[in-house]
Amino acid sequence: MKLDRSWTPAFAVAVIALISGGWLLQQGDAPQSSGDYSNARLFEQVHHIVSQRYVEDMESSELYRMAIEGMLSELGDPHTTFLDSAEYADLRLNTTGNYGGLGIRIESQDNWITVVDVLPDTPADREGLQPGDRIIEVKGESAKGWSTTDAVKVLRGPKGSSVHITVARVGVSKPLGFEITRDEVQVASVHSFMLDDNVGYVRLQQFSEQAQRELESAIGSLQEQGARSLVLDLSANPGGLLDQGVAVADLFLPEGTKVVSTKSRVSSQNETYRAPNPEKYGDLPVAVVVSRYSASASEIVAGALQDHDRAVVIGSRTFGKGSVQSLFGLAGGNYLKMTTARWYTPVGRSIQRDRGEDSQMSELMANTISVSGNAISTASTDTAQQQVYHTDSGRAVYGGGGITPDLLVSTDTLTQPEQEFRQELSEAGVILDNAAFQFGVKWSREHDLSPDFEVTGEMRDAFYRRLSEEHGIEVDRELYDGARGWVDWNLRIQVASAAFGPEERLRQRVASDRPIQRAASLLRRANTPGEVITLAEAEKGSVGPSGEGNSFDGGSEQ
């Protein structure tokens, strides 16, 4: 049953107020008293009256659940929620790394469920969902006001079953509908390869139970291939388990080094977490790449390595999910997942960001779309408005929620002609990366390609014809040519994916990712962790405190 989440304590006063043309029948005077006992008695009186006299029959158990949901909703914290036994099982699946579903990671933002990451080679990826998509309907029912728990409950289901969702996408005027067939999702936390002879790359997708072990194995393999420095990509990593965040930071920090602390109303939760072991990669130069959708454990790792001058942080200011949730067992196999503490970096910065900034960020993102089609913010972080803290060496870092990178580097964005072409395709129901992938399957079967293939004029013309022949859309050739940079970017990635698999697709994406390429550029010039910091500080100092101008024009053909 869909629960009415509009219940608030204001409902209690409905028994003594005349409401808009209705009739009020007051059944005696309410006693005047105060205190917890009397408030509990008041609640029971309201519950009794509703269960006995409301115009529609209501199950007593359902009323209690509605009351619980209403109370938690009034806290205004999307991370505090009531879990029944099935929802708790879903939560466990999230953190163990194997589950069935669509293959997306979601957050509640601005009262809507928002896709923050799409896992490679999953049902959602194959159908063309993108980070930044807002799920507005599921099976015809509005998703406004849903918590992530609500969404997980309906999006997951038996393998082979399907679910219809409707999303709103930035830059597209009409909602987009998707019919997605659920499948078992095997979540690999780590993907890695060499960027060149000396720089290794590791993408950590989430902090599941095996994150530290998988990361350690990947770094070891890269070092065997000659890696003398590392790009640690935490962009769009939504976090996961706190102990895995500490364990990952432990790989790079000396034993006993402070990683993160928690502050709570309950003294037993005022804890400091320190690196439990000697660092394994103490001499390895590291650059950490983060994005708007990097959250929780990602921010713990980035903040700890930044505060201790162990790594340079590059990208966009992170999400700011700095709260600790505790699970409380309840009767009937139910659980309460509730925020009980907040996280702070080693120098005392609160990771939690004021959620009121989300609506401001949405306005900034309204007409800003990356080459991958994601809604992003390209605005510089105004560090003049943020509280200043200092790292171990005395470098300035900034509070105010989230982690502000040492070097602010935005991703490439679509030009106006590219946005117009994207809009025309979307209104015709065509998603470019889907169409490019389908084209790539056919093209790779008919042509002998190598992983370093180039997008040729022949390929571009053939794809233009396919848009008309297979998708029934007549695209103005001048508009198509004006969007050549974006078309080529999609063709390069999707043809590579069709021909060589998801790892080659990731390689192609990384090759044109500005923050990652900026990180690699720094690492190529550094022999020690300290030199990476020095080089980053020199670059930052040349463009001013807000980070304006910290962009890298490499890799993309935009």
Average pLDDT, the chain: 83
- What is the SS3 assignment for 352? coil
Fold of 99-185: Pdz3 Domain (2.30.42)
Q: Are 200 and 222 in contact (CB under 8 A)?
A: yes
pLDDT range class, residue 6, cuts 50, 70, 90: very low
Annotated active-site residue in 108, 125, 291, 321: 321
What is the token pair recorded at 484?
């050549």
Tell me whether the CATH fold assigned to 99-185 matches the one assigned to 190-408.
no
Among 260, 253, 265, 270, smallest CA distance to 296 is for 260
pLDDT at 101 over 60: yes
pLDDT band at 308 (very low <50, low <70, confident <90, very high): very high
- What pLDDT band is residue 465 in, cutting at 50, 70 and 90? very high
What is the band of 114 on the pLDDT scale with cuts at 50, 70, 90? Answer: confident
Six-digit token pair at 218? 């990947």
Residue 542 banded pLDDT, cuts 50, 70, 90:
low
Cβ within 8 Å of residue 105, ≥6 positions away: 115, 116, 117, 118, 119, 206, 236, 238
pLDDT-derived band of residue 22, with 50, 70 and 90 as boundaries?
very low
Instruction: Provide the pLDDT for residue 306.
Output: 98
Q: Where are the domains of the chain?
A: 9-74, 99-185, 190-408, 416-511
Q: Which CATH architecture has domain 190-408?
A: Alpha-Beta Complex (3.90)
Per-residue pLDDT at 242: 86
DSSP helix, strand, coil percent of the chain (3-state; round to 5): 40, 20, 40
**Quick check: 38 pLDDT over 80?**
yes
pLDDT value of position 498: 81
Average pLDDT over residues 522-528: 97
Q: Parallel, antiparallel, or unpaired for β 199-204 and 323-329?
A: unpaired
Catalytic residue among 125, 150, 233, 307: 307
258 included as an active-site residue = no
pLDDT band at 373 (very low <50, low <70, confident <90, very high): low
pLDDT at residue number 364: 43
CA distance readout (Å), 409 to 138, 227, 307, 374, 546: 35, 24, 19, 16, 11
List the catalytic residue out of 235, 296, 350, 377. Answer: 296
Active site residue 321: yes
pLDDT score of 479 = 93
Query: Residue 251 pLDDT > 90, yes or no?
Result: yes
The pTM of the whole model exceeds 0.85: no
More reliable by pLDDT, 109 or 361 = 109
Exposure on the CB side of residue 557, measured as CA atoms within 13 A: 17
